[in-house]
Structure 1
């Protein structure tokens, strides 16, 4: 790291010394975009859009969509758990990728073709002409699932002049990448292009057994044909194939709960030192493997008629993913290897007719059809060490409880739960599994029922089909040469059908520990709790059993039936109370409450059951744009966005009771200005926005998985600025920022509670046991109310780059480039966990490169580095999976990387 940092410092000195060496002035290049489905210059487009060109991708060593955020401040892209769980976030609004039933709020389009899941767009970029990042709702133009914005990738089309380009890169962590493209004519009216990419590097997370995680192993190929059957017709056919086979993404421990740490070490597990800034070492006994194959074909036909152009885009895509990963991130077998198969086939058809753009009224109308068939299977069993670990972790807290029941020393909490179940069976109340109680004595060696390899967490299968169509259009009315009114709208109709097969034979998750906290108290002889059991005389009250074991009706029956009471006495229950009066008054002291972390998978043994829904929506926009001068224009807009509802493809729905979620809608008000001055050497764009999303589809981590639901609303407002300045012929400076005035929940009444918090903090008063509430789905649990609270997004995101190019003579040139990306503090969790390691402080990342090459681009050698000062930071985190305490894992950001790239063109 030191050597590279020194080299960068020397390069920076060279930049400063030659900063104003050139006296000639240069204009910033004019960029053409198609964000409004017609060609316009970036400065004339009345929306907030950032453009990254193919040249900038090369200069910045941006290899996939996740790297884009270093140049586009409003965009955040993160990979969590696996390479394909990629989340796109614009202006603080995005959608978790952990539920396949949930489609993204930021739509991703490649060459005009919609990608239904973000994971299908994460392979390395090849032969890109430009990437347009369009912020705010874009439902009118792009249609599907764009309430937060669009990332549109436009690749290079075939060329009728033969040319080629290739590059080879080697770097640290064993990086090696080869990319190439070749294009040329096949005939007078047909051309081709072939692109290929192979990228591998070792992992930057060390596994204690000698393996590595967070590696790269991916390849992709694309072939294109461009056919011009007539002067007015163009046909472009694109076929692509990509494969990814990677061990990603590791989440080392940021914090160990002492209970978890003691049990982990006591059972022979490896406790890698916790690192709140993102560790680089992990102990796991399984893999973090994702094997993904994507492929597709599309055909785009354009025909120019007199006064308008007809466009047709037809596409078919396949996505086939297998995940096998160690969900507990430890080398104990707590949660055995999770196995997921995720497959989908999608077909899209879009038709458009667009006016030529030289009339008093310009227009664009079209229709869109979409069909997607998704198949999802998930198996997540308990591991062989789970039962022993949970017993070890709970041994201290339940020791008195075990002793009071006359059980052998060392009986674990899991066994105690099973004894409760045996008592349930012996009392003739019925239960989940038929456990024998022998001759009526209290069993001390119960049969396995809870937390066993025979009773896994999840076995689920979903078949999820979506069919949608929409009609859309926009009209641009040029009232004067300077003033234009744009009105657009889209009507969408969508049908979804799902067939589900679930098998979750885990009886422990059906225990209500909230009730147990209230009722598990053995009272003094001669007294009783009439509210629970009715008035019973004598010493029989000393042997009351918690109503949770039987249910309210059965408890009352027991209270009035001496025969049943005698049955309980025969079980050998001791009248000695393990819970003091203080414990009875404070349910949080119940020693078994730690087991609630493993109750996200209630017992389900269901055959196939179908369900369906229909959504329809009208979204629209209105834009007022005014050209103040040839170099300055302003606009104001109001736009609405929409994302349909659907079904929760996860049995974690039990946490909130939400097995079906509603549509998400967005409203955005925006005022913008774009201009240039100093003879075009400085161009800029600025915007103010205020966006409200109603019924925001949020996916929250709860223990062993995610619970999907609609938050009431979120409100986001802020300003954006982007600019480019060419002070000399040799120097180009670009930069921008997004500043959020607010990013809060307008309403979120039933949000998840964090694992750990200060019980005296009024912000978490509703998370203290005893404050249980019942949500709209009828689920009673501890929910927090986050209405009016900040969402924990970064308040300020900024980027700054400088590129200096110097002509060396003899047909050679040299360039230096530096980049800075600033991210202000943010939180990891929806539950707003207040602990420091669950929140990331502000940080800056610095990138740099030095390039020597021919001034005609025939060859170049580039020395580059990213995160050159090796900043440690985290991208996100979660409460540890498979643990009783409050341990926490975090995903580390990419470390310092550097390498050398050789490029050739001809």
Structure 2
């Protein structure tokens, strides 16, 4: 039979898998076979933009997991945020946050043809990899799930009918120990087996002040495969895998302390590790940063050759079981109790595909895909025991509040929560209040809870979601070979998606249940003229004067005492001592009834490709494609901040032209492409102080140029490289974007009068489409803050030695231009990562038959400091900021044997 999965498949563009292993660089670049379009084609025949990394390159570059792949694929960015499993895949500046399980990724991850519903399930170490294909742009036809930004497809090595083994042991700094093993061979004349295993342990590179460490590695992966050829035309491949992670990752030290936060932190006995704008390597926490994850799956792929076509079936079941305990306030005070997240899903996928044998005027492919996913997610993040004292200490410096605290004779050190409770208790005891209509109606003043306004029984006690997805699609593609050199490709997919959700919410937070603007209109300064003088300290002023009107009158601001205060008057920050205390409001009122229970999306997506072979060494192509990602539910109580409990489907449209070719008798191969992509209703997830708010961001527009190539100027020397340059990456429409953080007095982190943040100034509140009135910025037409240029370059020189030995000398460089951490475009310097360059190097000594090798390697060898991202600090009143540091210098030695 025809081999259905060629061992020689290496990838498609030109980074192109350099065809260099321990046996040395080749004088010419061999013809590369590709499967990015689900059939075997040469590199020049495949009119798609795809980068490939081979197993040999993974070994040479010491690539451990998917996050390391960006070293060799410039258009791919992979970063871990908060935990090892919160990993975001990003292609051409387009990706989806992994902080909300209601979101499906814009970049789909497939392993051996099986879709991984959440990116976290693809994070364990890579073992026995044949190749990794990174296919860019909307994938609307050939892959099981429709993805609007692209696909990362990982293909592992198959069992072989000859006995073979690989053993690898690595020792490195940070107490790194890695062991890998693989063995393959025949069971009988029709069956072959492969067993793979990996164990990875290393200490963390961030020191905790109590002697622990963070950002460690502790993971293992096992895989077993059975290959069965019951006849000449049939092949069956069964794969079972299991992976586990138990890691304390990922710490985010302080990049900036707001003075009020730092003073309160230290004043209450906490540790303020010096802030480091470059990420830092020390942190003070009193809880865990632990994630425990187990993933497992079983798949069966059947291929059968008929006379004119091949039938393929891929059936898979997968389980994902994650448990997080996370100190979300990143301090050694108990401001926010440990965030406890449980995230579990069970998925089933079935794909059927029929593919013509090729070499016809019209080649064709068609199929159907079924997907069922049952997700259970729960989160508990209540206030900590120190939250009340911290809020009081942090707000004690407010000068207007201190004047009132002094006037009422409250104890020294009293703060905003004390003052609020005193006001309410005073008004309640005097029987006054509710004389001026509130904005929300004639509601009475709130009553102070018996436990106070901030207590450990408040906050997010529990959010629990049972979120089920069922989807099916049918797809097809036709290749018309109009001439020997000119091909027209038409493809399409119809998708149907249904989602159902059952929600349970327990989130008591009386502090967040009212408006400080409205409250200030009703609060009175109770005096003995009309109120019981034995209940309250004696103060000057009018009898039972309203708080804010009295302060306005004292300041000479004209008011009409017979009319309710205007919104602008009630919001005057300098005269409303309560307004700044809105920073206490971390858990907006929300109930299970606010969340939808079901939705259905249908879509037809497709592509058109024109490909022309100018010569045997040059191919030109142009393509237009659409992509689709279904809408869904906001699986987070943070939905209350924006009012968006259900988000809409994401639609992408992409135009691309490209060229692939070779020069100098095939010593140089290259691929270059221009792309222009627009995504409507882009699903974005933005940080809002204590969590993330998910919404549709109108539209984004991205265009740029990609180049990848390899060049072997002389025997045994190979250069590979590539870059992605974004000509444009902007919001086409984003009217209700988040504003940057603000200080406790209501002023922003931006310079007063900065037109970029004019809409974020108090008094400019707007009402979004969901009916929520708040401060929103308008980012329409503005740059999204992605890196403009990302590029990589590698060089490998092979030097033959005597006695059948050789040395490979390898150097790697990756350049990343500046990028912003936050969607809100926080203008402070530490919220933008400056351009940086990382260097890797290795020296490998081994046999020219590849039977053994010793590799000395280093990554980030110059120990460059950089950050992966950042966010406004959780649980604080001021504008403090935390940042995730990039991986530091690592080095070690690897011993590898192969037989």
Same fold per superposition (TM over 0.5): yes
Matches within 5 A, 1:405-444: 405=408, 407-422=410-425
| Cα distance in structure 2, aligned partners of 1:281 and 1:275 | 9
Q: Give me the whole-angstrom Cα distance separating, in 2, the residues matched to 1:167 and 1:523.
A: 78
Task: Give 3-state SS (helix, strand or coil) of 1:38's partner.
Answer: coil
- Conserved 8 A contact 1:518-1:587: no
Residue of 688, 692, 700 corresponding to 2:678: 692
Aligned pairs (5 A) from 1:57-96: 57-96=58-97
2:530 corresponds to: none
1:124 aligns with 2:125: yes
| Helix, strand or coil at the partner of 1:120 | helix
Please tell me whether residue 478 in structure 1 is matched to residue 471 in structure 2.
Answer: no
From 490, 493, 497, the equivalent of 1:494 is 497
Structure 1 residues 733 and 206: alpha-carbon distance in aligned structure 2, compared to 1, 3 A threshold: same
Shift of the alpha carbon at 1:610?
A: 6.2
Q: Which residue of 2 aligns with 1:299?
A: 300
The alignment partner of 1:763 has SS state of: helix
- 1:50-95 per-residue CA deviation (whole Å, 9 max, x = no partner) reads 0000000000000100000010000000000000000000000000
**Mapped partners of 2:24, 2:856: distance in 1:** 27
Give the aligned partner of residue 239 of structure 2.
238
The answer as to whether partners of 2:548 and 2:570 remain within 8 angstroms in 1 is: no
Shift of 1:167: 0.3
- TM-superposition CA deviations, 1:92-136 (whole Å, max 9, x none): 000000001111100000000000000000000010000000000
1:29 positional shift: 3.2
Taking the TM superposition and a 5 Å limit, the aligned residue runs for 1:721-732 are 721-732=707-718
Q: Which residue is 2:824 aligned to?
A: 831
Which residues of 2 match residues 367-516 of structure 1 at below 5 A? 367-397=368-398, 398-405=401-408, 407-422=410-425, 447-515=450-518
The answer as to whether partners of 1:638 and 1:669 remain within 8 angstroms in 2 is yes
2:654 to 661, 668, 673: 668
Residues 357 and 416 from structure 1, CA distance in 2 versus in 1: closer, same or farther, beyond 3 angstroms?
same
The 1:605–1:631 alpha-carbon spacing in structure 2 relative to 1, beyond 3 Å, is: closer
Query: Does the 8 A contact of 2:427 with 2:523 survive in 1?
Result: no
The answer to whether the 8 A contact 1:517-1:588 is kept is no
Residue 635 of structure 2 corresponds to residue 649 of structure 1:
yes
CA distance in structure 1 between the partners assigned to 2:130 and 2:424 by the alignment: 65
Q: Which residue of 2 aligns with 1:841?
A: 834
Q: Which whole-Å CA distance do the structure 1 matches of 2:829 and 2:317 have between them?
A: 46
CA contact (8 A) 1:521 1:584 kept: no
The CA deviation at 1:798 is 0.2
Partners of 1:24 and 1:244 in 2: CA distance = 37
Q: Identify the match of residue 795 of structure 2 among 802, 810, 830.
A: 802
The answer to whether structure 1 residue 854 and structure 2 residue 857 are counterparts is no
Where does residue 616 of structure 1 map in the other structure? 602
Give the match for residue 688 of structure 2.
702
Cα displacement (A) at 1:522: 7.4
Report the CA distance between 1:329 and its aligned residue. 0.3
CA apart distance, 1:519: 7.7
For the aligned residue pairs, the C-alpha RMSD in angstroms reads: 2.8
The aligned runs of 1:305-324 (5 Å cut-off) are 305-324=306-325
Evaluate the alpha carbon distance shift between residue 802 and residue 590 of structure 1 in structure 2; reply closer, same or farther with a 3 A threshold.
Answer: farther
- Deviation string 1:610-648 (CA, Å, 9 cap, x unpaired) is 610000000000000000000100000000000000000
Deviation, 1:183, is 0.3
Distance 1:157 1:444, change over 3 A: closer
8 A contact 1:23–1:728 mirrored in 2: no
Aligned-partner SS, 1:140? coil
Q: Distance in 2 between matches of 1:443 and 1:640?
A: 52
Change (3 A) 1:521 1:37: farther
Corresponding residue of 2:105: 104
**CA displacement at 1:40 relative to structure 2:** 1.5
Task: Return the offset for 1:598.
Answer: 4.1
SS at match of 2:611: strand
2: distance between equivalents of 1:196 and 1:269? 43
CA distance, structure 1, for counterparts of residue 836 and residue 614 of structure 2: 39
Structure 1 window deviating more from structure 2 (397-406 vs 368-377): it is 397-406
Q: Which residue of 1 aligns with 2:212?
A: 211
- Secondary structure of 1:43's aligned partner: helix
Alignment partner, residue 531 of structure 1 = none
Task: Name 2:667's counterpart in structure 1.
Answer: 681
Query: Could you list the per-position Cα deviations for residues 734-762 of structure 1 after superposition, in whole angstroms to 9, with x for gaps in the alignment?
Result: 00000001100000011110012123101
TM-superposed deviation, 1:732 = 0.5
Label 1:709 to 1:201 Cα distance change in 2 as closer, same or farther (>3 A).
same
Q: Structure 2 vs 1, CA of residues 651 and 139 (structure 1 numbering), >3 Å: closer, same or farther?
A: same
- Whole-angstrom CA distance in 1 between matches of 2:807 and 2:24: 17
Alignment map for 1:845-884 (pairs within 5 Å)? 845-884=838-877
Mapped contact 2:660–2:672 kept (Cα < 8 A): yes
Query: Does the CA-based 8 Å contact 2:433-2:524 persist in structure 1?
Result: no
Q: Which has the higher helix share?
A: 1
- Give the match for residue 723 of structure 2: 737
Q: In structure 2, what is the Cα distance between the partners aligned to 1:333 and 1:54?
A: 46
Contact 1:846–1:869 at 8 Å: present in 2 too?
Answer: yes
Residues 888 and 422 (structure 1 numbering): CA distance in 2 closer, same or farther, change over 3 Å?
Answer: same
Aligned-pair CA distance for 1:544: 6.2
Partner Cα distance (1:445, 1:510) in 2: 12
**Are the structure 2 counterparts of residues 738 and 360 from structure 1 closer, same or farther at C-alpha, using a change threshold of 3 Å?**
same
CA distance in 2, matches of 1:236, 1:363: 24
Question: 2:548 touches 2:575 (CA, 8 Å); kept in 1?
Answer: no
Deviation at 1:369, TM superposition (A): 0.2
Q: What do residues 126-163 of structure 1 show as CA deviations (whole Å, max 9, x unaligned)?
A: 10000000000002111424100000000000000110
Q: Answer yes or no: is 1:258 the counterpart of 2:259.
A: yes
Per-residue deviation, residues 521-558 of structure 1 (Å, max 9, x unmatched): 9799xxxxxxxxxxxxx9668336789xxxxxxxxxx9
> What's the CA shift for 1:730?
0.6
SS class of match (2:757) = helix
In 2, the alpha carbon distance for the partners of 1:622 and 1:599 equals 51
Match of 2:48, SS state, is coil
Secondary structure of 1:400's counterpart equals helix
Q: Which residue of 1 aligns with 2:9?
A: none
Aligned 8 A contact 1:684 1:721 in 2: yes
Inter-CA distance 692–425: structure 2 relative to 1 (3 Å threshold)? farther
**What secondary structure sits across from 1:141 in the alignment?**
coil
Deviation, structure 1 residue 445? 9.6
Preserved contact between residue 148 and residue 651 of structure 2 (Cα < 8 Å): yes
Q: Match for residue 533 of structure 1?
A: none
**1:359–1:427: structure 2 CA closer, same or farther, 3 Å change rule?**
farther
Counterparts of 1:760-839 in structure 2 under 5 Å? 760-839=753-832
Q: C-alpha separation between the residues in 2 aligned to 1:635 and 1:443?
A: 67
